[in-house]
Chains A and B, each alone.
Chain A
Amino acid sequence: MVRIGTVAYLATHPTQLRSIIQWKVWHTPVHERDESKECESLKRCFHFLQETSRSFAAVILELHPELLVPVTLFYVILRGLDTIEDDMTIPLEKKEPLLRNFDQILDQDGWTFTENGPNEKDRQLLVEFNVVIEEFKKLKPAYQTIIKDITKRMGNGMADYCSNAEHNEVGVNTIKDYELYCHHVAGIVGEGCTQLFVEGGLANPALLRRPELHESMGQLLQQVNIIRDVREDLDDKRRFYPREIWSKHVDTFEDLFKPENKEKALAVNSEMILNALQRADDCLYYLAGLKEQSVFNFCAIPQSMALATLELCFQNYDVYLKNVKITKGDACQLMTESTQNLQLVCEVFKRYTRKIHKRNNPNDPNFLKISIACGKIEQFVETIFPSQKAPIDAKKNPASAEEAERSRKEAEETKWDNIYMVIAVVLTISIITGLMLIAAWLAGARFDIAIHQFKEQLGNFLGSGGELRNATSTVAATPSSPGHSEL
């Protein structure tokens, strides 16, 4: 299973290997599904989840028990919708009503669909769609309503695109169209997920009052996919890069891929990435509204991956030549970092933001806009996790010229206070000493003798000291001090 190339790569990239091992060894799921309590039809639904999704199955399976089944069913239902939309062997007149009425299908016991082309990857899901419907009926009514509503809106959106000849021929026209497309395929999903989280009591209900936040969650993921898959989509004759962006540089979309247009292709690349990058701070804001760890992980992992992918694609001409992908090691590191807390995810965002900024080309038409977008992410992270507090020590600085003058005077005054104090002490000691001396004199003390002896002793001391100093140069001095003998 493991390819030689992979082994060689990991052997030469030990940090990557380390990340993989760390993830495999240390990651413990927040919640685990309990297979023993599942009925056959539910097991089948989980089977389809794992069959149809590469990246999402892992995070969905670790979700809180309250949301595990609703989100799984939400995912496979939308995947069913997608399987009909993608299948070019189904004629439009058959496809359109199916898409538009898919929400009603969820009420039809035993509904299955066998008319997908034989090459359609996920056709088996629709062949056995009755199990999904069976499980859907068991959901809490509130979850059913949410899922149905999103299914209906998404189905209608898809039907609109299928029947829109212009969209199919020339692709997306304006940036607005592009964002609308992303809204229909991803933004709505963000809305549905948010409603499920809030309904399940695992997210802050305030998230529903800020629709632009979950919209950005969906937009960022979808836009990153579109940016990364541009080559694959071209080969499949699909174009999602809006004309409004590429037409500034080339005449036809295919021209973007010509080697002589490399500079232009990179300019298009940075404008596409700028558009996605401007959503990043909203995503962090959204993540701050999630209350439960498994829900946080479910949302944070894809976002971190998206930002890392964005960085990988930025100013990377390979995007136009082949499929680019973040390495397994990086993915594992990102998963480890995205399953802890918001602060660490903010660090991830900041790290990739700076990497993007480092490669920002001053001659690119969107140079400054990208710089501003990066700065905005950094500033946002600072607003939720400030790295610096307002200094307190500066509070005693004078606020006005008067105050400065006052504190200067005060300092001056204290200085004089200290001087007066010293003078007072010295004066007091002198007076007391004087009084004592006078008292002694009155009592008959002979100061003249005392002074004479003092002088003598001092002279002796200095004299012998001088001798000592001279003697050190020779050997040892004779310590015969007359002062001592007197004692």
Chain B
Amino acid sequence: MSVPQKITSLGKVVVVGGCGFLGHHIVKLILERLPASQISVLDLRTTANRQDSPTVSYHDGDISDLDAMQAFFAKTKPDVVIHTASPHFHLPAAVHDKVNVTGTKNLLKAAQDSGVKAFVYTSSASVVLGPHTELVNADETWPLVTGDAQPEYYTTTKAYAESAVLEANRTPTSFLTCAIRPAGIFGEGDIQVLPPMINTYRTGKNKFQIGENENLFDFTYVGNVAYGHLLAAQALLHTHRILPTVPLDSEKVDGEAFFITNGQPVYFWDFIRAVWHAAGDRTKLSQVWHLDKDFAYVIGTVMENLFWVLGKKPTLTRAQARYSTMHKYHSIKKANARLGYKPLVDLEEGIKRGVQYILDQDEKAAQKKGQ
């Protein structure tokens, strides 16, 4: 589809979770690429990651409160909703239920009632990842892995929310939805990918490698994920414009999920080494110890139990041993064909920006201490 380019503004857009890591990058990118849009950021707390722009307004609100959401939507009357809010992975199951499932449904209800045209939901690439499979060039035909088959409750709730969003598509007929499934988001301000890696380097644990390092992994620069959301919103608005004409199945965006990655799967440890290198590491390959995959798994088991007894966080867990030795990469052909998605920032530049951000933060912290 080449037509979505014609959409030059998202109109009135609500970015839910717009002060979060991904959310604020989305807000920034809308300002940059679709400056005519009027942005309302809705977040639990709107103190962090604020953009100083007359076209962005900030609103505190809790998406698990349906009445509050309906009131907010009735007042704002948005054209587009981009829903990126999600609790931290490690929080208890009840929080995931409340935010991911109930919160998403509340937003859908409020959006349907207030005549929203396009609703884009941030899902996760992990919704198709089970405990025993690897993802080798997986595409969107892979089934969701949820419930008892899904060891991560967070992921189950993400999948449920995604289903709810896609099921709401075209109810009413003028309400269009789609889901973006990013994989391994990193960049300025991330907390889950780069900081732990840098921490490993700084504590001198960069001389180890688990497994053969033949497993390809998708890491995605946050700006590219944001871009995927913008393209999705534009495509939905375009479909909305041609209503009641329904696009061909091969071009359809509404009611669909899309993997969004950097399109550059790399060997897992190569990515980490590139991050370490950007942070100053100059270890040679010959200095690296190779731990066998199964051995690491055993160590992980022992560590987890030992540290559980001691009440501390282990340095090597079974999950880490698995993640660092498995294939986890996806095909982005669908996003490329239907959204016209091509990553804006390549992996190398993404790492540079993300690591520099951490180094800058550390320097600021050090200066504060010095004063």
Contacts and interface: CB of A to CB of B under 8 A. Distances in A.
Interface of A: 354, 357, 359-363, 367-369, 371-372, 374-376, 378-379, 382-383, 386-388, 390-392, 394-395, 397-401, 403-404, 407
B265 A379 contact: yes
Interface in B133-149: 133-134, 136-139, 141-147, 149
12 contacts: A354-B214, A362-B273, A368-B266, A368-B274, A368-B351, A371-B271, A374-B267, A375-B267, A386-B136, A390-B143, A397-B149, A401-B97
A383 B331 contact: yes
In this complex, which of B101, B134, B136 has the most chain A Cβ atoms within 10 angstroms of its Cβ? B136
A399 B159 contact: yes
Contacts of A391: 130, 133, 142-143
Interface string B267-280: 10011011011000
Given A362-B283, A367-B270, A382-B137, A376 B264 contact: yes
Contacts of A376: 264
B325 to A, nearest CB: 15
Given A363-B284, A379-B137, A379-B216, A390 B267 contact: no
B231 interface: no
Contact of B134 (A354, A388, A404): A388
A397 B147 contact: yes
Contacts of A387: 136
Chain B binding surface, main DSSP class: mixed
A171 to B, nearest CB: 28
Interface string B70-104: 00000000000000000000000000010001000
A368 B138 contact: no
Given A357-B267, A374-B267, A394 B136 contact: no
A319 B139 CA distance: 42
A398 B149 CA distance: 10
Interface string B40-66: 000000000000000000000000000
Contacts of A400: 160, 163-164, 167
Q: Which 4 A-B pairs have the closest CB atoms?
A: A371-B270, A382-B137, A362-B273, A400-B163
Nearest to B105: A401
A383 B330 CA distance: 11
A286 to B, nearest CB: 20
Contacts of B312: none
A397 B150 contact: yes
Contacts of A397: 143-147, 149-150
A208 B138 CA distance: 30
Given A361-B285, A367-B277, A391-B133, A398 B264 contact: no
A399 B163 contact: yes
Contact of A372 (B149, B159, B347): B347
Given A397-B150, A400-B167, 8 more contacts: A354-B214, A361-B285, A362-B274, A362-B283, A368-B348, A372-B266, A390-B143, A392-B143
A374 B214 CA distance: 10
Contacts of A357: 213-214, 267, 270
B368 interface: no
Contact of A404 (B137, B160, B329): B160
A375 B265 contact: yes
A398 B213 CA distance: 34
Contacts of B6: none
Contacts of B136: 382, 386-388
B260 to A, nearest CB: 16
B282 interface: yes
Interface of B: 97, 101, 130, 133-134, 136-139, 141-147, 149-150, 156-157, 159-160, 163-164, 167, 213-214, 216, 264-267, 270-271, 273-274, 276-277, 281-285, 329, 331, 347-348, 351
A440 B144 CA distance: 63
Contacts of B150: 397
Contacts, number: 116
Contacts of A407: 147
Nearest to A394: B143
B149 A379 contact: no
Contact of B149 (A359, A394, A403): A394
Contacts of B137: 379, 382-383, 386, 388
Contacts of A367: 270, 273-274, 277
Contact of B277 (A363, A388, A404): A363
B241 to A, nearest CB: 30
Contact of A368 (B213, B329, B347): B347
A379 B267 CA distance: 12
Given A368-B266, A397-B145, A390 B163 contact: no
Nearest to B156: A404
Contacts of B273: 362, 367
B58 to A, nearest CB: 30
A369 B164 CA distance: 39
A382 B139 CA distance: 12
A371 B215 CA distance: 11
A363 B167 CA distance: 49
Contacts of B159: 399
Nearest to B146: A397
Contacts of A404: 146-147, 156, 160
In this complex, which of A387, A400, A403 has the most chain B Cβ atoms within 10 angstroms of its Cβ? A400
A380 to B, nearest CB: 9
A401 B101 contact: yes
Contacts of B264: 372, 375-376
Contacts of B214: 354, 357
A302 to B, nearest CB: 27
A407 B216 CA distance: 36
Contacts of B138: 388, 390
A263 to B, nearest CB: 11
In this complex, which of B145, B163, B267 has the most chain A Cβ atoms within 10 angstroms of its Cβ? B267
Contacts of B141: 390
A361 B282 CA distance: 10
Contacts of B167: 400
Contact of B216 (A359, A378, A395): A378
Given A369-B348, A386-B136, A386-B137, A394 B130 contact: yes
A392 B164 CA distance: 22
Nearest to A391: B133
A414 to B, nearest CB: 16
A362 B172 CA distance: 54
Contacts of A378: 216, 265
Contact of A395 (B133, B143, B267, B282): B143
Nearest to A370: B270
B266 A390 contact: no
Nearest to B133: A391
Given A362-B274, A363-B277, A386-B137, A371 B267 contact: yes
B266 A363 contact: no
In this complex, which of B141, B144, B283 has the most chain A Cβ atoms within 10 angstroms of its Cβ? B144
A394 B283 contact: no
